Structure 1
Amino acid sequence: MNRFKRLGWGLLALIGVLAVAIGSFTYHLKPDYDGETKLRGLSEEVQVYYDTYGIPHIYAENDADAFKALGYVHAQDRLWQMELLRRIGSGRLAEVFGKDLLGTDKFFLALGVDDYSSETIAKVNSNDESVQLSLAYLDGINQFIDEGPTPVEFYLTGTEKKPFVLKDVYNTLGYMAFSFAMAHKTDPLLSRIKDKLGFEYLKDLEIDSDTTTLWIKNYPRNRADSIQKSISEVMSSLEKLSIPLFEGSNGWAIAAEKTKNGKVIFANDPHIGFSQPSVWYEAHVSTPSYEKYGYHLAGVPYPVLGHNRKLAYGMTMFENDDVDFYYEKTHPTDPRKYKKGDEWKDYEIISKTIKVKDSDDIHFSYKKTHHGPVLNGIADQVTGERPVSMWWVFTKVENQLLNSLHNMSYANGLGEFKKALEGLHAPGLGIVYGDAEDNVAYWAAAKLYTIPDSIHTKFVSEEGKGLPVEKEYLDFSENPHTINPPWHYVYSANNQPDSIAGMLYPGYYLPENRARRIFQLLESKGDWDKEAVGHMINDNTSPVNVEIVTMLLSKLKIDGLSTGQLKILDALKQWRGDYPKTSIEATVYHKWMYCILKHIFKDELGDILFEEIMNTHLIKRTMAPIFANENSIWWDDISTLNIAESQTDIVNVSFREALQNLETTLGEDSASWVWGRVHTIEHGHPIGQIEALRSFFNVGPFGVNGTREVINNLYFPYTEDGVYKVSSGPSTRRVIDFSDVENGISILPTGQSGNPFSEHYKDQAGMYVNGEFRKMMLNKEEIVSTSKSQLTLKPDN
């Protein structure tokens, strides 16, 4: 018995030692928010005050010291995220995650992001302030790499920490440029539909500009005012790694004439794929010559979103078409050549090597023409023997992105800020602006070019046709823009812009749903304040969905419906198009929509093309118009021979199918069909794909309000099982009232830190789901007095 007792005590002692060891290990992996640390190259001491939510407020005597400190504190919270983002554009994900990411690496290498970054670095002026401050920021990152604790993800994946260089910044910006990838998802798909079914089936797919929807108006006006599997697999790979992809966004600025306190109110909520950590890192940086409360991409020194006491700016996706696809003609007897005009030219052969975890290096090559890379064999969605090449504006013009972000960050007013935007060439961004001088503005920041009416950009162009490689670029003054309009507000909801250049800008614009709601709310009120705008940015109502339901209900026959089903029908008739977690109508509506879309499209498209079209902006634009068009060719089910289904037939079959599916999956009691049960959000971490580690690295799931294409835009893909897992949405919600600029409000989806051992890893997640906010502090006295911890960075010279 004594021997067993001694054995028991020995085991307890061993467990105790292991617990101490694990506790010590995890303690040293935490970010260091307090104490003193020496940094090489600092000229003066820097103070970093952390607020209640782990936001660093950096006070330095000069800008170089401030950006060095920013790099250091950014790295200790987000080094793993920095590592992932710099690897995407350079084709180095398989080196960490193995052969499953080979296709993604090949695709990005073929796009030429890494080569373009190398070309850019060779041309930069190392004396430019934008470069000097970027190098200071990178030096801060690298000192953390040298001296700080290694994030746990590096241990788990066996990834070696390596220094960051300026090229990494440009590769990360290249990933951002590609992440809005609607052209890659849409153009080859539309060409395949055209080839399979004919042009007749394209007429009702809303592939062109819609003159009947709400457009973003320009001001001042001018002469043009009367103009009214594959890449999908690449994107899926990035989504599985929980790498944020840019999707859409809302932004608006309300002029002083429409606010209670007589000053501009600014709001912005960029819609980006959810991930853990979330995409933005907040930091407040202050020196005698510079101050900005900014939102930073991992590994990028200048904020993409920001504000100070003078001005505020944010972004939406402009959604313009900046990619063109071309069929190439290979020589009939010499496969090394292709036709360019009247001549035969040699394909350029590009060879690359990819390092693969736990495997030999992979060597591959691809062809390139004057248009760009040939995607056959690189992107599986490009099928058939005909070579298809891709032209992308991002890699075709001088890269001024870093300089533009610097100049935006340092701008002191409207004129300087507008000038800074001229260098933003891709991706196209809708920039919303407001300032303390009562200016409000919107600009479409992109490198736009003329497109003749005879050329359709949403198909693969035949050899020798389509847009020429040498584009006729527009001056920035011809981009859509609105400055201090007489209606006293500006906004963007990724909807169709009006024209200034005498032409429409082809794109992948979102439907008018959010725009109509924003317009409706802004027009209805003349005394806006911060609290009202905060409520508006969480709005969950869709007037368009109410119109769709009303129209479909007029086609519905009640024969054979049970008492319970008739009760659901009555509830839908009273539905206001809102999406609280308790809504039953919301659950029924979306199940019904999916069943209708499946019956409309799947018989003609088949499983693969149906899945592809359901993941495009195109399907969102198409829903309301095609539901309203009872004569569309798509309504007939071609699988039922000698029977011509009508819209009424499909609407009724789909409604009954939807109710039956809900009874099967959620139970016969419709009172339990609440929206929050099926509409959930989980913030995934790459390591969280491993089931045993999911609960540690992932955040959620939570039942959540909102839906697709409302202001609180929580996008989910439609699925057969009726479980709607939210994949993207507001990456932050910000509201800034220039009558009280030191009390701006914001929220992040999870938390400030990407370190799972940090107390700020997920401390905002519950607030985010509930539509709550926290303060964005600017007042130094308040920051110092309420600071939770203080990190002092001292020179080590």
Structure 2
Amino acid sequence: MASIFRWSLRLFLALAGLAILAVVIALWFASRSLPDYDASYRLDGVSGPVEIVRDNANVPHVFGESDPDVFFGLGFAHAQDRLWQMMLLRRTAQGRLSEIFGQRTVRTDELLRRLDLYNLATRSVDVQTPYATEALRAYADGVNAWLAQVNDGAMGRGAPEFFLFSPQIAPWQPADSIALAKLMALQLNSHLPNEVLRARVSLQMDDPRVEDIMPSPAGNGIATLPEYASLVPGAEDAPGTRLASLPPEDPLYPVKPLGLGGASNAWAADTSRSASGGTLLANDPHLGLTAPSVWYLARLELESGGVIGGSLPGVPSILLGRSSELGWGLTSSYLDDVDVHIERLNPDNPEEVLTPEGWKPLRERTSIVLIKDAEPITLTLRWSDNGPVLPGRHFDLETITPPGHVASVSWTVLSPADTSVSAGLELLKAKTVPDAIDAMEGFIAPSQNLTLVDRETVGMKMIGAAPRRADGHQSKGRLPTPGWIADNRWDGRLPYTTNPEFVGPAGGIVGNTNNKTVDRPFPLHVSYSWGDTQRVQRWRRLMQSREVHTRESFMEAQLDTVSFTARSLLPLIGADLWFTGEAAPEGTPERLRQRALDLVASWNGEMNEHLPEPLIYAAWMRALQSRLITDELGPLADEFARLEPLFIERVYRDVNGASVWCDVVQSARVETCSDMARLALDDALIWISERYGTALESLRWGDAHEAVHEHPVLGEVSGLSWLFNIRQSTSGGDNTLQRGRTAGDGPNPFRNVSAAGYRGIYDFADPDSSLFVISTGQSGHPLSRHYDDLGELWRRGEYIPMTLDPELARAAAVGVTRIEPAR
């Protein structure tokens, strides 16, 4: 027995030793891809010395003797820190993910091939300005120079992920950068799925009720729409009309769920509203949280001067930031720049569709998708005059497409002459607000509101191509329409001068929270669907609460977690519940309800991670909306997993008879809205009790509202997620200025999945006192100390300095990379 024990112990120790050895070897190989920031190189592709000074936050400050050399340095730095991220995004845009991931990403590849984004990007290379062409080529040379170093120096394949997936990396091309910009437009778009969802709801209920659940912000506009079935006869017989949505997308699917498209905040104050006497600008774009962040901080010392701020790995530009004379920020404009068309197939020849001039053949091209460990598939790509034809399995199109028809998409980003990158590079050289507005005329997509400040002036301009729709467009862009009717087709673009513009406002402040910006009749309306109706109310209060602002007051607004939505809805919903009835015995559901009501009654609406009230409120509103819509919408109710504040307000104010939603259709009695409020609160408290217990006072919103910065590939792999994912307790919520968009569904419906991945505040009284931060760290390598070092600052609402002073950048720098011409 003793002998067996000794041999078992030896075997266990041997296996444990081998396991430890394997981990050590794996970590050693993975660490080989950590770049040496103090190295020197002699490389082809530069005309003179290039220096990359990385400050103590690992922000590269790139210096060179010419602009192309500086863009070379940026490409080199991007590749050093974010190589896997760049290659993954390029594969996504190319529709080539399945070559390394197999069957799971075939649907993603098919969508990107049918949209033809990469081919359109390749064709767009030829229309860039000479300056942009040179920048794109130099940037690509910088990326490829780092790839050569990885290959020649056996540097761990460039990133740990390449040990798990194909290490074959094609050289970077200028078209790759343009494709990544187009991919961003796809990720930010919400109008296409919104059109389809509105059509699905329209097939199920009357128009007034559609306007309840998918309301438009207040202001002039259209009050009603034609029924979708009247626009497209036969749509009610579409396969799957009354089925639930298709299964959840793969994490790599580029189209975000409804409500997770682009969101953002930006505001600016001129010298008359600034305590320091200099203009102020704050910007924080909201995107899905990933590890590493979408954003990468960088400084470029160009011939026109230094620029610093947030860049996208793969794109040679500073998308958000400042120079010494100009600051700029971006918010999603919600321009309706996409339309879905229903195309009628020729019953005698399904390769033809009906047009205003008669039957016309679809254009076709084949495309082969290679799939790891499976046979390749051949796609037949088709286009009508309106745009690419998409199968019904994308965007739930099959649920609204009648038999004998197909769906096509018109979309500004599908331009083969996309000069957005050129426009963005011209912005870097602008010195004044008018110069910047002129520079962005060639910007196509994604449409944004560009908030600007120079030394004296503030302004905001919507950038991006706006489609020219006919006055007689049947749905005004809000529903899919027959593609064979001339009035439903686009007639080019509207002039750039018609894009909304606000320069030098009398009040001295401009801003946008994705809210409605103009009240103009169709077709100059911009949109009927906006990204915010709530945050803007809190922003307006904060901006008007003081005569002058400071960098600190802008910071407070950016980090504000008070929910205007909670403060306005709770008194409305709980009007008949507060302090009613006698005290109930401890341990009863009634007593639990009284305790919950007592807590939220004295709450100021602050969505602080340490408080219990935000969790009670969020669970209550989620349960209430579910109770109101499930009987009417059935499976479609799953599409409205997040709170729609305007819907709840319409119901409880009985706008146009909206209180009818409170009655449960299937029950004999007539339920009131007070009944629904009480029942929903009980539902919420049961859910909370099962997950967090009945000690309501000790609940923490942050336990439910955990920010999940997830690696897009390895984040769900058991044993690796702990290394690649970053999780943090966070404040904020769906409708706070410090936005933390909740998932809405799944086992953790309140997890924070979309937030401000970048925050910047620029004070032109003292530009080098400007601040910024990103949500993770600069490096995409999980073994780097810069993988998540900025993430904790971000969580706590802290920032790092934003300086164009080269000496400050060199102080305590983590390394200086020097590049000399090879000959």
**Given the superposition, is the C-alpha separation of residues 240 and 176 from structure 1 closer, same or farther in structure 2, using an over 3 Å criterion?**
closer
Q: Choose from 458, 474, 478 the match for 1:455.
A: 474
> What is the CA-CA distance between 1:442 and the residue it aligns to?
0.5
Q: Choose from 76, 79, 83 the match for 1:75.
A: 79
Q: Which residue of 2 aligns with 1:479?
A: 499
In the alignment, residue 518 of structure 2 is paired with which amino acid? D
Contact 1:315 1:429 in 2 (8 A): yes
Q: After superposition, where does 1:626-665 map in structure 2 within 5 Å?
A: 626-629=651-654, 631-632=657-658, 635-665=661-691
Q: Which residue of 2 aligns with 1:280?
A: 295
Q: Choose from 481, 484, 491 the match for 1:464.
A: 484
Q: What's the CA shift string for 1:367-420, capped at 9, x where partnerless?
A: 321112222345160115232221112214731111101101121222221111
Q: Bigger CA drift: 678-687 or 397-406? A: 397-406
Q: What's the CA shift string for 1:667-693, capped at 9, x where partnerless?
A: 111123221111111210121221110
In the alignment, residue 593 of structure 1 is paired with which amino acid? M
**Given the superposition, is the C-alpha separation of residues 72 and 566 from structure 1 closer, same or farther in structure 2, using an over 3 Å criterion?**
same
Tell me, what secondary structure is at the counterpart of 1:250? strand
Q: Bigger CA drift: 636-645 or 594-603? A: 636-645
Contact 1:424 1:445 in 2 (8 A): yes
**Given the superposition, is the C-alpha separation of residues 408 and 584 from structure 1 closer, same or farther in structure 2, using an over 3 Å criterion?**
same
Tell me, what secondary structure is at the counterpart of 1:736? strand
Q: How many Å separate the matches in 2 of 1:704 and 1:210? A: 32
**Given the superposition, is the C-alpha separation of residues 433 and 10 from structure 1 closer, same or farther in structure 2, using an over 3 Å criterion?**
same
Q: Is residue 124 of structure 2 the alignment partner of residue 120 of structure 1? A: yes
Contact 1:480 1:499 in 2 (8 A): no
Q: What's the CA shift string for 1:529-577, capped at 9, x where partnerless?
A: 2122112210001223211001111133745763443232122122211
Contact 1:185 1:232 in 2 (8 A): no
Q: Is residue 171 of structure 2 the alignment partner of residue 163 of structure 1? A: yes
> What is the CA-CA distance between 1:624 and the residue it aligns to?
3.4
Q: Bigger CA drift: 779-788 or 759-768? A: 779-788
Q: Which residue of 2 aligns with 1:519?
A: 540
Contact 1:106 1:378 in 2 (8 A): no
**Given the superposition, is the C-alpha separation of residues 509 and 465 from structure 1 closer, same or farther in structure 2, using an over 3 Å criterion?**
same
Q: What's the CA shift string for 1:127-172, capped at 9, x where partnerless?
A: 7011111111110100111112321111211241111111111211
Q: Is residue 615 of structure 2 the alignment partner of residue 583 of structure 1? A: no
**Given the superposition, is the C-alpha separation of residues 105 and 234 from structure 1 closer, same or farther in structure 2, using an over 3 Å criterion?**
farther
Q: Choose from 709, 712, 725 the match for 1:698.
A: 725
Q: Which residue of 2 aligns with 1:610?
A: 637
> What is the CA-CA distance between 1:209 and the residue it aligns to?
4.5
Q: Is residue 413 of structure 2 the alignment partner of residue 394 of structure 1? A: yes
After superposition, the CA RMSD in angstroms is 2.8
Q: Is residue 435 of structure 2 the alignment partner of residue 416 of structure 1? A: yes
Q: Is residue 530 of structure 2 the alignment partner of residue 505 of structure 1? A: no
Q: Choose from 133, 140, 143 the match for 2:142.
A: 140
Tell me, what secondary structure is at the counterpart of 1:562? helix
> What is the CA-CA distance between 1:638 and the residue it aligns to?
4.9
Q: Bigger CA drift: 78-87 or 463-472? A: 463-472
> What is the CA-CA distance between 1:200 and the residue it aligns to?
3.9
Q: Bigger CA drift: 402-411 or 200-209? A: 200-209
In the alignment, residue 638 of structure 2 is paired with which amino acid? E
Q: How many Å separate the matches in 2 of 1:721 and 1:487? A: 46
> What is the CA-CA distance between 1:71 and the residue it aligns to?
0.8
TM-score (norm 1): 0.91
Q: Which residue of 2 aligns with 1:296?
A: 311
Q: What's the CA shift string for 1:78-133, capped at 9, x where partnerless?
A: 11111111122221121222111111111121122123123223x336x7011111
Q: Choose from 313, 320, 341 the match for 1:326.
A: 341
Q: Choose from 437, 443, 446 the match for 1:427.
A: 446
Q: Is residue 747 of structure 2 the alignment partner of residue 715 of structure 1? A: no
Q: How many Å separate the matches in 2 of 1:241 and 1:75? A: 26
Contact 2:473 2:488 in 1 (8 A): no
> What is the CA-CA distance between 1:212 and the residue it aligns to?
8.6
Q: Is residue 464 of structure 2 the alignment partner of residue 446 of structure 1? A: yes
Q: Is residue 744 of structure 2 the alignment partner of residue 724 of structure 1? A: no
Q: What's the CA shift string for 1:323-369, capped at 9, x where partnerless?
A: 11111112233222221125111222332111112222111224321
Q: Which residue of 1 aligns with 2:131?
A: 129
Q: How many Å separate the matches in 2 of 1:13 and 1:388? A: 60
**Given the superposition, is the C-alpha separation of residues 6 and 80 from structure 1 closer, same or farther in structure 2, using an over 3 Å criterion?**
closer
> What is the CA-CA distance between 1:18 and the residue it aligns to?
5.9
**Given the superposition, is the C-alpha separation of residues 764 and 542 from structure 1 closer, same or farther in structure 2, using an over 3 Å criterion?**
same
Q: Choose from 332, 340, 356 the match for 1:317.
A: 332
> What is the CA-CA distance between 1:746 and the residue it aligns to?
1.0
Q: Which residue of 2 aligns with 1:624?
A: 649
Ranges in structure 2 where 5+ consecutive residues have no aligned partner: 222-243
Tell me, what secondary structure is at the counterpart of 2:74? helix
Contact 2:63 2:301 in 1 (8 A): yes
Q: Is residue 377 of structure 2 the alignment partner of residue 374 of structure 1? A: no
Q: Which residue of 2 aligns with 1:195?
A: 203
> What is the CA-CA distance between 1:641 and the residue it aligns to?
4.0
Contact 1:479 1:501 in 2 (8 A): no
Ranges in structure 1 where 5+ consecutive residues have no aligned partner: 214-228
**Given the superposition, is the C-alpha separation of residues 234 and 481 from structure 1 closer, same or farther in structure 2, using an over 3 Å criterion?**
farther
Q: Is residue 111 of structure 2 the alignment partner of residue 86 of structure 1? A: no
Q: Is residue 113 of structure 2 the alignment partner of residue 109 of structure 1? A: yes
Q: How many Å separate the matches in 1 of 2:561 and 2:698? A: 21
Q: How many Å separate the matches in 1 of 2:81 and 2:208? A: 54
Q: Choose from 549, 553, 560 the match for 1:532.
A: 553
> What is the CA-CA distance between 1:765 and the residue it aligns to?
1.4
> What is the CA-CA distance between 1:289 and the residue it aligns to?
3.8
Contact 2:58 2:786 in 1 (8 A): yes
Q: After superposition, where does 1:169-248 map in structure 2 within 5 Å?
A: 169-211=177-219, 233-234=248-249, 237-238=252-253, 246-248=261-263
Q: How many Å separate the matches in 2 of 1:771 and 1:519? A: 21
Contact 1:257 1:526 in 2 (8 A): no
In the alignment, residue 139 of structure 1 is paired with which amino acid? D
TM-score (norm 2): 0.88
Contact 1:39 1:794 in 2 (8 A): yes
Q: Which residue of 1 aligns with 2:573?
A: 552
Q: Which residue of 1 aligns with 2:799?
A: 773
Contact 2:299 2:307 in 1 (8 A): yes
Q: How many Å separate the matches in 1 of 2:520 and 2:668? A: 50
Q: Which residue of 1 aligns with 2:231?
A: none
Q: How many Å separate the matches in 1 of 2:30 and 2:502? A: 52
Q: Is residue 639 of structure 2 the alignment partner of residue 599 of structure 1? A: no
